[in-house]
Amino acid sequence: MVTVKGNKAIVDALVENDVEYIFGICGTSVAGFLSALSTENRIKYVVARHERCAGSMADGYARASGRVGVCQMHSGPGTLNGVLSIVDAYRDSSPVVLLAGQVERKLIGREIFGEANQFAVLKPYTKSCQRIGRVSEIPRIINNAFYLARAGRPGPVMVEMPEDIYNEEGEVEPDFPIRVDSQIVSPSIIEEATDRLIEAEKPVILAGGGVIWSNASEELRIISEMLQIPVTTTQNGRGCFPEDHPLALGVSGWCGGISVADDALEEADVVLAVGCTISSLTTYNFTTPIKGDIIQINIDPSSIGQNYHCEYGIVGDAKTVLLEMIKILDSRGAVKKSSSRAEEIKKKKEEWNAIWGADVDSESAPVKPQRLLRDVQNTIPKKSIIVSGAGLHRLFITAYTKTIHPRTFIGSVNLGAMGFAFPAAIGAKAAKPEEPVVCLVGDGDFMMTIMDLETAVRCGFNVVTIIMNNNCYAAPKMFQKVNFGTDFGNDYTNPNFAKVAENFGACGWTVEKPSEIADTVKSALDCGKPAVIDVKIDPVAFPPLNLKASSRLRGIDAEKATRGIR
């Protein structure tokens, strides 16, 4: 037992949990915490310019590194400012620990200046909300927060720090971080499911973010190649299976998925769903008629059969379960089946490209998004981390970029929140300073968090931000046009983003012609500073759509509607 002040006990517990970065904003409720943190050189503190950005930086750090991201916010308005970033982490299963300031313990609940009921707001969107009540319980609470953030299905945890705890002394017993174990709950079902997979005529694998969090990409590839099963992924699963692989179908669903993947899911006699929920995004709001048997592997029991009936529900860590399946396949002497599936996939992709691929070579101005993304993909290093904004441009990004490696595609997927991408890119760069980080974002999205360009410059996080600038909120504009025949309330004007970047101390360029794209991206990668490239894109460019599935989703004639707005 040792006697320490509360603020020192908190910092010591963070060090024990190998915290590398804390992204935060000061305030009176956290002043005592920051005072102790200032003496600890093993943790880097990044001063953000908005709490939403601090939270998304921690989220981006977690997704790029596979570790727990940590953010800190002032009580009341500070924490409420950051709520959206915590909901992002919750919806996309990202392990984030929020250290939230709070008023003195004796004043909690009396509605004093600067107080908010943070538990009531965040409880639905965290795995746990905990409050430090005594110095002696600090190691247990902090260790438990990091354990809960990582264990099972990852997600955010809030630890509330009342401001009078920092100077209070107490006896602290050394406590050590809790190790996260992977285990199989239902091993007998694994054997039955594997046998069903071997017997299948047209199986498909649907892989989600759980594959990435369990580091199971290699096991997924082995099973796919052993049985020649094509793989489609969710948005959060991008990179768990290389999208340039002959058996890769691409992303499924209505946020940029392609009909090749959608059709394969509909036609499959067995779907092996790994680390995913078979969500509304993947299935066009559950209108995709999945007729085959579903084998669902998820570490979260509540996800099994949540959205579609599954014949084989396996609760467990994806890597552990897939390893067991590989052992069973080996014991059965399973060998590669005919490679005709790969040839069929190749042909269908060629047909899709014939319909939607023409504009990748366009020389027109304003720049076609398809051409921009083709040139960006061909210019940046293969292991670059791409962070995507939310909006219509996301559909282009999904369709016209390929993700080859795990943790190299990051986006606000299940919430679809604008304002996530740029700060998340900063967090990703903090996690992976040796890798290029490219933020592909819409103009409306970037303007929501532009203030933290100063943070990137000050801290040397050399993110390359490419703005797909069409001077409007394009997704709601398209939706309104298709469904109501108008486009009111979606247009605005933008500043000169290149000059704004330079005023922040970053590098800035404006691109108006396709011929300028590649050289500008190279210059941005080499400039040694955060960089902003403002690309004037075609405001009426239309993204690829699975017209049949989209018609089911909205109950409209999607093909007729698209002709009307092209």
CATH classification of the domain holding 301? 3.40.50.1220
Question: Domain check: are 23 and 107 in the same one?
Answer: yes
The 8-class DSSP code of residue 537 comes to: B
193 found inside a domain: yes
Distance CA 384, CA 44 (A): 24
Question: Domain check: are 364 and 508 in the same one?
Answer: yes
Secondary structure (3-state) at 313: strand
Residue at a domain's end among 172, 198, 217: 172
Residue at a domain's end among 126, 147, 172: 172
Distance CA 466, CA 380 (A): 12
Task: Evaluate whether 64 touches 427 at the Cβ level (below 8 Å).
Answer: yes
Predicted confidence band at 154 (pLDDT cuts at 50, 70, 90)? very high
CATH classification of the domain holding 512? 3.40.50.970
479 found inside a domain: yes
Predicted confidence band at 386 (pLDDT cuts at 50, 70, 90)? very high
Helix (H) or strand (E) holding 331: helix 318-332
pLDDT digits 0-9 by tens, 426-438: 999 999 999 999 9
Question: What's the Rg (C-alpha) of the chain?
Answer: 24
Question: Domain check: are 295 and 234 in the same one?
Answer: yes
181 found inside a domain: no
Predicted confidence band at 243 (pLDDT cuts at 50, 70, 90)? very high
353 found inside a domain: no
**Interval 237-253 mean pLDDT:** 96
Question: Domain check: are 212 and 117 in the same one?
Answer: no
220 found inside a domain: yes
pLDDT digits 0-9 by tens, 18-56: 999 999 999 999 999 999 999 999 999 999 999 999 999
**Interval 294-308 mean pLDDT:** 92
pLDDT of 440: 98
The 8-class DSSP code of residue 417 comes to: -
pLDDT > 70? residue 564:
no
177 found inside a domain: no
The 8-class DSSP code of residue 412 comes to: -
Question: Domain check: are 311 and 459 in the same one?
Answer: no
Distance CA 544, CA 370 (A): 10
pLDDT of 547: 77
Question: Domain check: are 122 and 228 in the same one?
Answer: no
Distance CA 379, CA 513 (A): 16
Predicted confidence band at 565 (pLDDT cuts at 50, 70, 90)? very low
Rounded to two decimals, the pTM is 0.95
Provide the domain limits for residue 210: 187-346
pLDDT > 70? residue 558:
no
Distance CA 396, CA 419 (A): 18
What does residue 511 show for φ and ψ, rounded to 5 degrees? -115, 125
pLDDT of 546: 83
Distance CA 499, CA 484 (A): 37
180 found inside a domain: no
Task: Evaluate whether 140 touches 80 at the Cβ level (below 8 Å).
Answer: no
Residue 198 neighbours by CB under 8 Å, 6+ apart: 227, 329, 332, 334
For residue 78, give Cα distances in angstroms to 47, 48, 57, 385. 13, 12, 15, 29
**Interval 229-253 mean pLDDT:** 96
Task: Indicate the number of domains in the chain.
Answer: 3
Crossing angle of the two packed helices 392-400 and 369-379, in degrees rounded to 10? 50
Question: Domain check: are 11 and 155 in the same one?
Answer: yes
Query: SS3 sequence, 363-409?
Result: CCCCECHHHHHHHHHHHCCCCCEEEECCCHHHHHHHHHCCCCCCCCE
Question: Domain check: are 278 and 315 in the same one?
Answer: yes
Question: Domain check: are 111 and 203 in the same one?
Answer: no
351 found inside a domain: no
**Interval 124-149 mean pLDDT:** 96
Tell me the residue length of the chain.
566
Q: Which one is predicted more confidently, 564 or 440?
A: 440
Task: Evaluate whether 48 touches 449 at the Cβ level (below 8 Å).
Answer: no
Question: Domain check: are 264 and 139 in the same one?
Answer: no
Q: Which one is predicted more confidently, 375 or 353?
A: 375
Residue at a domain's end among 316, 346, 376: 346
Distance CA 213, CA 424 (A): 17
Question: Domain check: are 203 and 291 in the same one?
Answer: yes
pLDDT digits 0-9 by tens, 168-179: 999 998 777 877
Question: Domain check: are 158 and 191 in the same one?
Answer: no
